[in-house]
Chain A
Amino acid sequence: MQKIIVCLKRVVDYNVRIRVKPDGSGVVTEGLKMSINPFDEIALEEALRLREKGQAQEVVAITIGPEDAQQQLRTALAMGADRAILVQTSAELEPLAAARVLHQIVSREQPGLVLLGKQAIDDDCNQTGQMLAALWDRPQATFASKLELNGTVATVTREVDAGLEVIEVDLPAVVTSDLRLNEPRYVKLPDIMKAKRKIIEVLAIESLGVDITPVLRVTRYETPPVRSKGGMVKSVDELVSALRDRGLLV
């Protein structure tokens, strides 16, 4: 196929423990390390491997976000994406709005495959890929742990509650990656230098004519009640009798 589009989201890094603002108006993100959403990084790695196997000619990375999201696109270019598109906005988009923006780009770029993570680790919504597939009127294969392209179809193994489900979809299609699809490569210094010469196209979100006004009202953020730490026991006897006291073991 000619082209694979990979959609990336800039999120607070996986290793950072977030805090809720004391007034409940949001989550503190200022000054935190930002990264590519790990599931999206897996999606990008898969696209790069398909290109390296000769099954695609070009990998285009797309993000929707602030000017600073260029950092994550630079990382994607250093990993091996051929070019990148930033749809620039300082607004937070609901997944449906993000899917509508991506649909505009997909209609323009006409890829053979769209890859993205199954969910972003900030809002944990797990919606954008499915919504994009619906708007584009194309197949979706979510929670992918294996992806094989064969001419005009893709065979996808999906991690579902009952085990592993295999489906076949006609291309073009949207595939969302699960954790075990692959292990993304590390970026090497020379690649970072090379990536500086690659092109990031910046589009103002207004130019796409998509209404991005949020519909849902987020009224409050709070810290979840913490499970209090229980007690330590010193022996199996103590453990078993504690469980018997609670009526959990006989």
Chain B
Amino acid sequence: MSRILIIGEHDGRGLNQSTARCVACAAAIDPASIEIVILGSSTSGVASEAAALTGVTGVLTVTAAADSPALAAVLAPQIAALAGEYDYVLAPSTTFGKDLLPRVAALLGVPQLSDVMSVLGPRTFQRPIYAGNALVTIEVPAGVKVVATVRGASFKPVGNGAGAPIRPVEVSAPLPTHTRFIELRSGKTDRPDLQTARLVVSGGRGVGSAENFALLYKFAERISAAVGASRAAVDAGFVPNDMQVGQTGKIIAPELYMAFGISGAIQHLTGIKDAGTIVAVNKDGDAPIFEIADIGLVGDLFEIIPEIEKRLR
């Protein structure tokens, strides 16, 4: 029977929800065990969160000062050293996982699958190519370790269960010092997190300026939504990069996605395909976003947003 190791993503304070989505993917493989490894300078709090996830059979902790903040070059040799006894190594398809897992795979000398969106069999997976314009089915031959990143938007996070044992482990791997963390500049706000929010309000080039985005922030606050943006809005400097939704930004699956002044380039649509309901508001009735919107309204976002707000209870 197969054993799965998931690399837990965290910021030292809490477990990233992408990890619970990886567990859902792992459960679909129907393995003998699902273990999560937490690497960091202090791991107990995050490890308890990981141990509580339904389906998890054990949590390993590797506690080392060099492991925080996480650097791929430092974590990869440790994970490669741990990976030996596992048949699968999974990580979330976030910037953390995308940076780290290929380095692990290369150290293990095995190919990697990126962005697994569906488990078709224990060794058969589906993933998107060409910005989601085609899907491929990939089989990993028997005897080859499965190393894969998991596309979070395709899996619902598992809930909490009985709690699994936590086991500290020692890893002997030489840790490089050639890569050093300097700082994280985070546009952290009180708004819900874009990747996990139930509702998302998003703006594009049509919003026109950084100042005008205030209208979206205000509306989002009113309905407790996260705020996203198209690449055009980020490139124009209206908002920071961490708000970008799309193929090269965040791929999200909220229950409601409201796109204001976004024309709908294919790369953007890739990022919202799994959303429950897509609403598009755009002055241009021919904008491609209307081709995939569940509800479209042609008009000026600067008039429409205040009108929606007026009707809220």
Contacts and interface: CB of A to CB of B under 8 A. Distances in A.
Q: Are A and B a genuine interacting pair, yes or no?
A: yes
Interface of A: 12, 17-18, 20, 27, 94-96, 99, 118-119, 121-135, 137-143, 145, 155, 158-170, 173, 178-180, 214-224, 226-227, 229-240, 242-243, 246, 248-250
A127 B112 contact: yes
Interface string B22-52: 0000000000000000000000000000000
B131 interface: yes
A215 B235 CA distance: 38
11 contacts: A124-B115, A124-B247, A126-B102, A127-B114, A158-B95, A162-B11, A163-B242, A169-B179, A180-B234, A224-B134, A249-B223
Given A164-B184, A167-B182, A236-B311, A131 B98 contact: no
Given A140-B73, A140-B99, A224 B133 contact: yes
B210 to A, nearest CB: 16
A180 B234 CA distance: 9
Contacts of A224: 128, 132-135, 273
A133 B107 CA distance: 10
What are the nearest 9 A-B pairs in CB distance? A230-B294, A134-B106, A130-B102, A163-B186, A131-B106, A127-B102, A166-B182, A220-B137, A170-B178
Contacts of B133: 17-18, 223-224
A214 B141 CA distance: 11
Contacts of B140: 215-217
B180 A131 contact: no
Interface string B43-73: 0000000000000000000000000000111
A233 B296 contact: yes
B134 A180 contact: no
B78 interface: no
Interface string B284-306: 00000011111111100000100
Provide the main secondary structure of the chain A interface: mixed
Question: How extensive is the interface on chain B, given as a class?
Answer: 35 or more
A167 B182 CA distance: 5
B139 A216 contact: yes
Interface stretch (B81-89, B162-170, B248-256): B248-256
A95 B102 contact: yes
B248 A130 contact: no
A227 B292 contact: yes
Contacts of A130: 72, 99-103, 106
Nearest to B76: A134
A129 to B, nearest CB: 8
A160 B248 contact: no
Contacts of B311: 236-237, 240
Nearest to A138: B178
Contacts of A180: 234-235, 241
Contacts of B138: 216-219
Interface string B252-284: 000110000000001000000100111100000
Contact of B241 (A145, A169, A248): A145
Given A131-B105, A134-B106, A163 B185 contact: yes
B116 interface: no
A23 B224 CA distance: 46
B105 A168 contact: no
Contact of B111 (A216, A229, A246): A216
Contacts of B11: 162
B241 A94 contact: no
Contacts of A128: 102
Nearest to A123: B129
Given A140-B73, A248-B276, 11 more contacts: A118-B248, A124-B115, A138-B178, A162-B186, A165-B185, A166-B185, A178-B248, A216-B139, A217-B139, A224-B128, A243-B279
Q: Which of A161, A163, A240, A246 has the most CB of B within 10 A?
A: A161
B241 A163 contact: yes
B307 interface: yes
A229 B181 contact: no
B136 interface: yes
Contacts of A95: 102, 111-112
B105 to A, nearest CB: 7
Contacts of B304: 236, 239
A139 B128 contact: no
Interface string B90-126: 0000111011111111110111111100000000100
Contact of B290 (A17, A141, A220, A229): A229
Nearest to B98: A126
